[in-house]
Structure 1
């Protein structure tokens, strides 16, 4: 039997990040009508489907098997089946697996259609009261302290709002690192358990947020979005970048030489970096 001339469609479906009422009617109809659903964690997705009285075949697709599974999924799509891709929560591909499958499907000429819905960092941004016209999404930071600080350091001079995901067992350390690298007085927001029963959105300086999270064990539970206001005006950004360069150069050069080079490279005043 020959394959049909038209392939099926890969539907990329956003699912709730907490409140199950946030699954759109279109998303529900899509999940109901596809031949199968590619899911990051099939157990989690089966619970979601069960809540809505749905029963569909599931295909496990996660970071460890995506390359292998993508080829099989694309073959089914080319044979005319329409399939859905979901993550455990929120919009697929946002700090979740799936881009290799989407890339393979598009390369094969398969239509890929988004079914929009919840996204944790967008939800947090909408209630944060921080500048939202320009944004840098960094996702999850490295788990180990040194690697995390190395990732944060170049962002100190970033003038756009920064968005991060963080886990319960690292939120306190991450806020401490951010206060040290970005400055204790930098404005930020910690959004926890969005759309869930114990949702909280805290705002203040990084020093204040670190103190509040450290003092309250309940504020160290759940899933987190951390939003940090950008460095502000260009002078602040230059100084932040200059300090970062000075710290790195100072590992290998005398302080005066490191400050001179950092000032030249960043455009920051030398006194702001070295104090003389």
Structure 2
């Protein structure tokens, strides 16, 4: 896995990790393999996807597909503005980072081969909304025709979600300390029995490492962003497929809201949508149910 950094703005450095889809000692399959773009949840990082991208993992797909996993601005090793004016950590700004990074790769004679068979956007929770915003922000550019499909995992909807003040305050405090992160994991994000101790330690590290602006942005304004109109316009230009995965016991993005505000929205734009339920899992599906995600990827 290669680590690349891109300065999308003077005060914003985006870190991305690239694999080239080769099994050791072999060339890529003659079958066209799309580039998988992984976008993590609020509180995560590129490490969230390690069960799908780490060589040797039971559910690794990066040996068969080229992949890029992002640290979105303010998370992991990526940085962002140190002042939070003009919604600097909005999903639109994060989508623009993704598009800029892919644009830089497309200009590089070695790395533009990664894009030659198109891309599949794979987003989890907030990352799913970033994936949809990437469609919207690509509408008049070079990237949109290369998008072959979407995999949206426990997706936040493209329409606004405005939490009650008490719930918003709870979210804003969720990543303040190790104790608060562990409590959030145990009672909100996941079923602890589905995670290993190393998974939990990684989640704690990622959640605490996010900068204060990134932590605040999602519950304060990013989840309220309405990108539905632009996404609808973008989707009218291509016959994409979308696969939606939802946790049976998810309380963050429950099944009924995903159905009404994501699946129905996509279907109303003319997109063919397949929905899969991860039995016995909550919200952290890349860690709780990576086998289901790998299965859905291989259907493209």
TM-score by length of 2: 0.28
TM-score normalised by length of structure 1: 0.30
Query: Which structure has the bigger radius of gyration?
Result: 1
Q: Which has the higher contact order (CA 8 A, sep 6+)?
A: 2
